[in-house]
Amino acid sequence: MADAYFINKDIPNAIVNYKKTLEDTVQDDLYARQNLMLCYFQFKDYNAVIEQAEFIKDKSEFKGSKQQFCYGLALNELGKPDEAEAQLKQIDRPYSNYAERLELAKFYVENNRTSEGKELLNEISTESKRLTKPNRKLYGATIVEVERMLAAL
């Protein structure tokens, strides 16, 4: 039920139902916590994102996941840039995670590390030139933002 609410962007009801799932000892709490993190992140409840991450951050499924990325952004929003960077860098993999890597580049620029941000933007830009047509279309908005940022730096 919680998944249906989440898919339909009814985040308050999704949160209620994922929390109910956590009360049931038979259910998979990892899955519920992963989705609670995404819900709280959309609500900009960064403390709650971090709270849920504490339960699952040592699990193998957390490493390199959307949840780890949200955890890093939440840490940054709460004024913990060093901890945030450690999480965000886990997502930086060539030829994948373009939107997440763009956010990492923005993180660098916002934290007065322009050269690192520009280097990452250049990597993404170079990789984008080798994308297949379907992938270029899929990541088009991200690539446009990368090129816009590069032109501004």
Domain locations in the chain? 1-80, 92-153
Among candidate residues 117, 95, 114, the one with its CA nearest the CA of residue 105: 117
Quote the tokens at residue 65: 């996941």
**Mean pLDDT (the chain, rounded):** 93
The single-letter code of the amino acid at 84 is A
For 32-90, write each residue's pLDDT tens digit.
Answer: 999 999 999 999 999 999 999 999 999 999 999 999 999 999 999 999 999 999 999 99
Closest-CA residue to 87 (of 103, 109, 63, 111): 63
The CATH number for 1-80, chosen from 1.10.10, 1.25.40, 2.40.30, 3.40.1000, is: 1.25.40
Direct distance between the N- and C-terminal alpha carbons of the chain, in angstroms, rounded to an integer: 46
pTM for this model (two decimals): 0.84
Sequence letter at residue 19: K
Report residue 5's pLDDT band, with 50, 70 and 90 as the boundaries.
confident
pLDDT of residue 151: 96
Band of pLDDT at residue 147, cut at 50, 70 and 90: very high
Distance CA(19)–CA(14), nearest Å, equals 9
Is 42 strand, coil or helix? helix
Q: What percent of the chain has pLDDT over 90?
A: 76
**Half-sphere exposure of residue 74: CA atoms within 13 angstroms, side-chain side:** 24
